[in-house]
Amino acid sequence: MTELLTEHHTVSSETEPTAEALGLPYGFLTEKGSAYTYNPDGSVHRAKYDGSQSDAGIAVFIEHTTENLDVFTRMGAEQSHLPPAQRKKAYVLQLAETEAGGLIVKGKVYKAKDVSDSSRLAFALIDGNNQIAGWVPAAINPSIGSMVFEMDKLSDGSTVRHPGHRVTRIVE
């Protein structure tokens, strides 16, 4: 798998060094055999065990607990039978602290380079009325056992989401 990690890693002098600024590792592996590498701009490249490959603007990590797994699983559940207002979509959110010490949503994050505070990220389900139906803290750096979630906004305006598997190895 390390070979997959080294195949895609490229350095471009035109790309901001977001990965370095965020302290991201070279890449990581998941329990199902996917190999991820970080690009200099903090985006990720995924090479799956079946040979397919894809890119995403951001990958975040969610602690593997029963409660978090439930939120993560609901994100992938079929929802076509529900009225539009009840359908939920997953997003990565940037949170900000209020003067009173609470948290507010600063915005959705589609690219790692748009993270303003890596300690204040959330994985959230948002319903058709743009209300948060559930959320859990998310981290920008992988940790062994955490679940990965990838997200990106494409040039046509559509959003790509991919719930991944647990991290089994981090490659520095």
- Is the pLDDT reported for residue 15 higher than 50? no
Judgement on whether residues 108 and 90 belong to the same structural domain of the protein: yes
Q: Report pTM.
A: 0.84
- Residues 70 and 54 placed together within one structural domain of the fold: no
pLDDT of residue 58: 97
Query: Residue 94, Cα to own-chain centre: how many angstroms?
Result: 12
Instruction: Please provide the average confidence, as pLDDT, over all residues in the chain.
Output: 85
β-strands 27-30, 58-62: how paired?
Answer: unpaired
Give the model confidence (pLDDT) of 141-152 as tens digits.
Answer: 999 999 999 999
Within a domain: 74: yes
**pLDDT for 172 beyond 50:** yes
Tokens standing for residue 80 = 């076509």
User: What pLDDT score was predicted for residue 14?
Assistant: 43
pLDDT per position as a tens digit, 55-105: 999 999 999 887 777 766 666 566 777 788 878 888 999 999 889 888 889
State the residue range of the domain holding 124.
Answer: 66-138
Q: What is the pLDDT of residues 31-60, one digit of tens each?
A: 999 999 999 999 999 999 889 999 999 999
72 and 28 housed in the same domain? no
Q: Residue 66's pLDDT is what?
A: 78
Q: 125 lies in a domain?
A: yes
Q: Which two tokens stand for residue 29?
A: 């592996």
Answer yes or no: do 70 and 130 share one domain.
Answer: yes
User: Looking at the structure, do residues 129 and 70 belong to the same domain, yes or no?
Assistant: yes
Same domain, 105 and 53: no
Say if residue 79 is in the same domain as residue 126.
yes
Q: Do 103 and 46 have their domain in common?
A: no
In a shared domain, residues 134 and 70: yes
Q: How many residues does the chain have?
A: 172
pLDDT at 130 over 90: no
Is 149 domain-assigned? Answer: no
Task: Read off the pLDDT of each residue in 97-119 and give the average, rounded to a whole number.
Answer: 92
Structure tokens at 42: 């903090």
| Cβ atoms 93, 107 nearer than 8 A | yes
| Residue 88 pLDDT | 85
Residue 161 has pLDDT above 60, yes or no: yes
Q: Given this model, what pLDDT does residue 153 score?
A: 95
Helix and strand counts by DSSP (H, E) for the chain: 3, 11
- Residue 127 domain flag: yes
Per the structure, the count of domains in the chain is 2
* Of the candidate ranges 9-18, 90-99, 133-142, the one whose mean pLDDT is the lowest: 9-18
* Residue 55 to residue 101: CA distance in whole angstroms: 36
